[in-house]
Structure formats: structure tokens, C-alpha cells
Amino acid sequence: MNREWIKENERRQKNMEELYDLDERDKEGHPHQGTYSGLYQEILIYEKWRKKFWSLNTYMDQVCKYVKE
């Protein structure tokens, strides 16, 4: 493994952890608690609705930053 690969993998893991927290999967009773499956797809859906209805919503901007990366 080279350093660039390790850095990229660490960045990817950090993004997944942030998405997990933003989707509140750490809360008791969430249907996807304990899984990372489908996080990126949910963010794409958020981005779609943000563009249509919530252009000034800062929470959505925080979530949708992952689509741009």
C-alpha cells in the first residue's frame, strides 16, 4: 500500500462516518442502524430535493457536500 492509497481510504471512511451520523443511523430504532448500505444513494435523493425546494437550507448544503466530492 502506498501513502496516497492510505490517505484516500481514510478520507473515504471519514465521509462514510459523517454520512452515517447525518442520517442519524446511530439513533435507536433507525431501520438501517449499524449499516452503511445505501448512504450515498440517500444523499443523491437529498440533493435532488434540495435543488427543487430548499436552496437556502444549510443542513441540506452540509449533506450535499458529499455529492460534489
The parent domain of residue 39 ranges over 3-26+35-68
For residues 14-38, give the mean pLDDT.
83
Q: Is 4's pLDDT higher than 70? A: yes
The grid coordinates listed for 65 are: 457536500
CA distance 16 to 40: 9
Name the pLDDT band for 2 (thresholds 50, 70, 90).
Answer: very high
- Total domains in the fold of the chain: 1
pTM reported for the whole predicted model: 0.58
Q: What is the pLDDT of residues 37-63, one digit of tens each?
A: 888 888 788 777 777 766 555 665 666
Query: Residue 63 to residues 4, 11, 21, 26, 58: CA-CA distances in angstroms?
Result: 26, 16, 10, 16, 9
More confident residue, 36 or 60: 36
Could you give the 3-state DSSP secondary structure of residue 63? helix
